[in-house]
Amino acid sequence: MKRLALTAAAAMVAGFPLAFTAAHAQDFPPKKPVTMVVGFAAGGSADIAARVIARKLGENIGQSVVVENKPGAGGNLAHAQVANGPADGSMLLFGSIGPLSIAPHFMKLAYDPLKDLAPITMGVTFPNVLVVPASTGIKTLGEFIAKAKRAPGKLDFASTGPGSAAHMAGELLNDVAKIDTLHVPYKGGAPALQDVLGDRVTSFYAAPPTALPHIESGKLIPLATTGLSRPAYLPNVPTVAETYPGFNATNWYAFVASAKTPKPLLDRWNVELVKVLNTPEVRENLLKHGQTAAPGSRDELGKFIAAEHGKWGRIVRERKLTAD
């Protein structure tokens, strides 16, 4: 009895009642298959990364981890599903920059990303690359900016939809370079890329995995990448930040879950996912697809999402952007 009392006291000092801590320790891994929800169709960058991570995660925890693709509304349907889904640790979301940081400034959502979804860890990051068709004759970011200033509103840029990372990258460049390029939204990367290759649109802030083959063939000219540093797979392409210091429009996917999930389970998922993302084979596999594993703490991710939310909210307001 005395030993039990001491154990209970220790648990209370640690911040959790004994019964609560023990119960949730027994719940990991969940007794049912774990679902990793992705807000985009199979075959895209988010899906590829999720499957690489899910495979290793399942091996580590000895439980099936099923990737569920739920495309629609720019990923917002998937985020709403998880925000209102089970809070027993059995459902994870491979969340993305749009629904978590940008979409709330464009439309009323069925969830609040800052309140209804709990951060677990950053998953992967990658810059977009600003490309133009070789036929434009534009070779550098400086030439692109100069041409845009000579003809305001005449140059256009494709994106994967209003409020997407590609859209925000273009608007941020408009903002810092004091230019006026026209946004042309598409329903996905494939049709946007097709029209750039067909000379029907001047430029595109493309995901590296889809653009690299066409860069290597010479059909597309890479002008700049949108992160703070040059990625290993495009070492000779400058960043926008080298011309406009501080420019950062990095694309990212992060793991979150329903905010109702008990903290011990969220903490345990952080441990397991960080372990997977630090595995050399996983990191190498992700890098082959143009993505960099970026594991971190729950607190770091929470602060990062809040900062991104504020940053893109300012751009949306100041440039008077709409979802139309």
Tell the CATH topology of 34-126+250-318. D-Maltodextrin-Binding Protein; domain 2 (3.40.190)
* Alpha carbons 281 and 11: distance in angstroms, whole number: 37
- Which DSSP helix (H) or strand (E) runs through 192? helix 189-197
If one counts every other C-beta atom within 10 angstroms of the C-beta of residue 168, the result is 28
What's the Cα-to-Cα distance from 36 to each of 81, 110, 126, 175, 246, rounded to whole Å?
Answer: 12, 20, 20, 36, 33
Q: What is the DSSP string of 149-184?
A: HHSTTTSEEEESSTTSHHHHHHHHHHHHHT--PEEE
Cβ atoms of 82 and 116 within 8 Å: the answer is: no
pTM of the entire predicted model: 0.84
* pLDDT at 137 (0 to 100): 96
Helix (H) or strand (E) holding 53, with range, is helix 45-61
DSSP 240: G
At residue 45, the pLDDT reads 83
Here the tokens at position 159 are: 């994106």
pLDDT of residue 4: 41
Burial environment of residue 91 by CB neighbours within 10 A (0 to 12, 13 to 18, 19 or more): buried
How do residues 161-187 score in pLDDT, each as one tens digit? 888 899 999 999 999 999 999 999 887
Q: Is-contact 170 241, C-beta < 8 A?
A: no
Predicted confidence at residue 291, as pLDDT, reads 92
- pLDDT score, position 145: 98
Q: CA separation (Å) from 194 to 153, 158, 190, 219?
A: 22, 10, 6, 12
Q: For the domain covering 129-242, report its CATH number.
A: 3.40.190.10
Neighbours of 146 (CB within 10 A): 12
CA distance linking residue 248 with residue 14, whole number of Å: 39
Q: Do residues 117 and 298 touch, judged by C-beta distance below 8 A? A: no
Q: What angle do CA 225, 310, 37 make, to 5 degrees?
A: 75
Q: What is residue 198's predicted lDDT score, i.e. its pLDDT?
A: 96
Residues 50, 54, 59: CA angle, nearest 5 degrees? 160
* Residues of the chain where predicted confidence (pLDDT) is lower than 70: 1-26
Same CATH fold, 129-242 and 34-126+250-318? yes
Q: Where are the domains of the chain?
A: 34-126+250-318, 129-242
